[in-house]
Structure 1
Amino acid sequence: MPAGLDLAQHLATLHPARLLAAATPDPTSTDGPELPRTDDIERWFDHLITPAWQIGLTVLIGAIALALLRTSIAHTVRRIVDGTPTVHRHAAALLSRGLRQDGPGVDSSPLGAARRVQRAETMGSVLRSISGFVIGALVVVISLGILNVDVGPLLASAGVVGVALGFGAQTLVKDFLAGISMLVEDQYGVGDVIDVGEATGTVEQVGLRVTQIRSLDGTLWYVRNGEILRVGNMTQGWSRALLELRVLADEDVPRVRALMLAAAADVAADAELGHMVLEEPEVAGIEDLTAEGVMLRLLVKVAPSKQWEVARELRARIRTGLAAEGIDLALPRREVVVQRSAHDPVTDSPAAT
């Protein structure tokens, strides 16, 4: 039989399925190119994204978040230092005039600017420290979790240490919290004259823990913020010059009242002191009536911390007016009644007569 006929009969006996199976490569065979498997890809990916890369990415994200927070804090501090925008300032002034409110507007004086700068810088420092601590703690905790470190015991230990430090330094924590609340509420600032109980004077420096107050005699008081239970601010927003004048009970009270108002009007028209007077002065009538005389009270609303200067000038002008009108001030008097008998040897003696 020819050779070509034998080859044709052999090919006819082969099944198509067998041909397809023979053409399909065996995955378990080591012959030929091997395709990458899913397990190998996962191992390669895990090998590429190592804990070092993850920690580095965490630190990078924390640094970006901290930079954004500090930029926002710096922008806020700058806005506080610059003061209220002009539009809001004009709106507040219009409302104050239209509604006749006593609420002060934005203080544009150098003293007010110094107060805003110190308050803003102190709050900015506190916020920067808090943001850095919080973000740093988060980065450390996440990094330890990446390294498969159990952070539970560490957090528990840190909590115990924090409680112990809190009990040991509770006075310091109290001072800091009081200082923060004082700055946020703007209870007083540099240049204000305040009364905090045992210390009264001008505020020279405001800190988170201690406030420095210079008294009238030059003593510099260091007062812890946590020990300040009440604050009397004599120069915040506006002040008031108060004068009490006591004259004899038989004096012409309307004439004395007109004299006091005239002296206040002269001060308001003065070139140096006139800008300090904010409103028309008023005499509130008879405030006290005793056997010694009648007391009248003069009230003048003035700029912050200018009440003493205006009051001194008012006293001088009122004194001059009283002298010109011949009006005497009522002085404290005491009457002593001495009773003697009819046969008192002292009165009968020549020396007594």
Structure 2
Amino acid sequence: MCKWLTDQNVVPEWVAQGGYVLILKPVRIIAIIAIAMLIRWLLHRTISRLTASTSRAAMPALLKPLKERADVTAEDAQYIPERRRQRAEAIGSVLRSFVSAVVFTMTALLVLGEFGFNLAPLLASAGIVGVALGFGAQSLVKDLIAGLFMLLEDQYGVGDTVDLGEATGVVESVGLRITTVRDSRGVLWYIRNGEIVRVGNKSQGWAMVVIDIPIGFVSSEEAVAVLKEAADAVAEHPDHQTEFIEPPDVVGVETLTVDGATIRTIAKTTADSQVTVQRELRRALTEALENTGLSGRIAASRLAPRSATPPAWHNGPENSSPSMGEQRPGGPA
């Protein structure tokens, strides 16, 4: 337009150039920024709606992890897991930050192009700087990628009891680079996500309680009957009835040593109730052995001294040797 006005001698050339610099260029720059902000707002809104639907119970089946695609009851559908909400918020925050970085970078390059900068050397320099930063910050990139996949796969969340190798405890916070775990002694561990090789989550799904009780040399059938009755009483108690997924089972003799037999009792419980059920079962089984008198018999059988009398063959005439000055019966005088 400015060139046409100059060619037609409508306005002087300096007026046309001034109008282009003072009017047209700012308008184009403002339009670029406005379009970029609109694109960013639309992408952020899409990500927010997606993460919000993911954090609700009625999320699309395609976005659910495989372990969560099973049919749930109406009562379970009203429960929104805190881990899913935090996971969705963390993933949404990462995606929004990534979108903002891409949009602002492209906007800055377009604005610099409007000011007449040669973008080819700038892009080449940015590529070299990016490669240098990639080599220098490999551990940081490794931590970020590991944290992102950890969130996507929902390996653990805040409040879970996990075993991360050297650190075992309750997860207090989960980030893209650092996971904090507080162990049973109260020590807070800061663990880089890239250094986590294996994860043992004790709070997902169900848990198994395994209790081994030595019974010495008493009757195993009698001990199994007593322990079975005590375990069933715990499972039927109103305070613990909902904590059992399957009824407890006394499987029988697990090991047999010189100190006697060991009876194993197992129970499938919810993950949150494992410790409570384990302690309650131990108490009930111990009291059952004491109330039936088996506890004293077990202690007596384990502490009973072994007979010091040598076997008959040991003192036989063919194995006995006369001491000095003694002669065998029937020998010479």
Aligned residue for 2:262? 295
Provide, for residues 58-94 of structure 1, a one-character-per-residue CA deviation record: whole Å limited to 9, x for no partner.
2222111100111111112222332345999896137
User: How far, CA to CA, are the matches of 1:259 and 1:290 in structure 2?
Assistant: 21
Residue 172 of structure 1 aligns with which residue?
Answer: 140
Q: Distance in 1 between matches of 2:173 and 2:262?
A: 40
Question: What is the one-letter code of the residue matched to 2:79?
Answer: S
1:82 is matched by which residue type in structure 2? Answer: R
Aligned residue pairs, count: 291
Residue 65 of structure 1 aligns with which residue?
39
Say which of 227, 251, 269 aligns to 1:260: 227
- One-letter amino acid of the counterpart of residue 265, structure 2: L
1:192–1:305: 8 Å Cα contact kept in structure 2? no
What secondary structure is seen at the aligned counterpart in 1 of 2:124? helix
CA drift of 1:240 comes to 1.8
- 8 Å CA contact retained: 2:214, 2:263: yes
Q: Percent identity?
A: 38
Q: For structure 1, which runs of at least 5 residues remain unmatched after alignment?
A: 1-35, 95-104, 344-353
> Which residue of structure 1 aligns with residue 207 of structure 2?
239
Q: Which residue of 2 aligns with 1:192?
A: 160
3-state SS of 2:271 partner: coil
Counterpart of 1:225? 193
Aligned to 1:282: 249
Q: 2:25 aligns with which of 51, 71, 75?
A: 51
After TM superposition, give the deviation of residue 107 of structure 1 in Å: 9.3
- Counterpart of 1:68, as a letter, is L
Cα offset, 1:52, TM superposition = 2.9
Which moved further from structure 2: 66-75 or 235-244? 235-244
Structure 2 residue 118 is matched with structure 1 residue 144 = no
User: Cα distance 1:277–1:51, how it changes in 2: closer, same or farther (>3 A)?
Assistant: same
Residues of 1 paired with 2:148 and 2:205: CA distance?
21
For residues 199-214 of structure 1, the aligned pairs below 5 Å read 199-214=167-182
- After superposition, the C-alpha distances for 1:224-282 in whole angstroms (9 at most, x for unaligned) are 111111111111122222212222345233x3333333222222222222211122222
| Alpha-carbon spacing, 1:119–1:86, altered in 2? closer, same or farther (3 Å) | closer
Q: Which moved more, 1:205-214 or 1:115-124?
A: 115-124
Partner AA of 1:312 in structure 2: R
Aligned-residue Cα RMSD (Å) equals 3.6
1:76 has 2:50 as partner: yes
After superposition, residues 73-112 of structure 1 pair within 5 angstroms as 73-85=47-59, 92-93=71-72, 108=79, 112=81
Q: Quickly say closer, same or farther: Cα 1:222–1:323, change in 2 above 3 A.
A: same
Q: Where do 1:155-166 residues align within 5 Å?
A: 155-166=123-134
TM-score, length of structure 1 as denominator length: 0.71
Q: Residue 313 of structure 1 aligns with which residue?
A: 280
Q: Hey, what's the Cα distance between the residues in 1 that align with 2:131 and 2:236?
A: 63
Contact between 2:167 and 2:189, CA under 8 Å: does it hold in 1? Answer: yes
State the distance in 2 between where 1:334 and 1:128 align: 75
3-state SS of the aligned residue for 1:187? coil
> Which one of 115, 121, 126 corresponds to residue 89 of structure 2?
121
Larger Cα-atom Rg: 1
Paired residue type of 2:248: P
Separation in 2, partners of 1:132, 1:168: 24
Could you tell me whether the CA contact under 8 Å between 2:54 and 2:60 is conserved in 1?
Answer: no
Shift of 1:320: 1.2
Work out the CA distance in 1 between the residues paired with 2:182 and 2:282: 26
> CA 1:90–1:127 in structure 2 vs 1: closer, same or farther (change >3 Å)?
closer
Question: Within 1, Cα distance between the matches of 2:134 and 2:248?
Answer: 53
Q: Is the 8 A contact 1:194 1:234 kept in 2?
A: yes
Q: 1:163 to 1:106 in 2, by over 3 A?
A: farther
Distance 1:333 1:108, change over 3 A: farther
The one-letter code matched in structure 2 to 1:108 is: Y
- What secondary structure, in the 3-state scheme, does the structure 2 residue paired with 1:149 have? coil
Query: The residue matched to 1:64 in structure 2 has which SS?
Result: helix
Q: 1:307 to 1:59 in 2, by over 3 A?
A: same
Question: Which consecutive residues of structure 2, in runs of 5 or more, have no partner in the other structure?
Answer: 311-320, 323-333
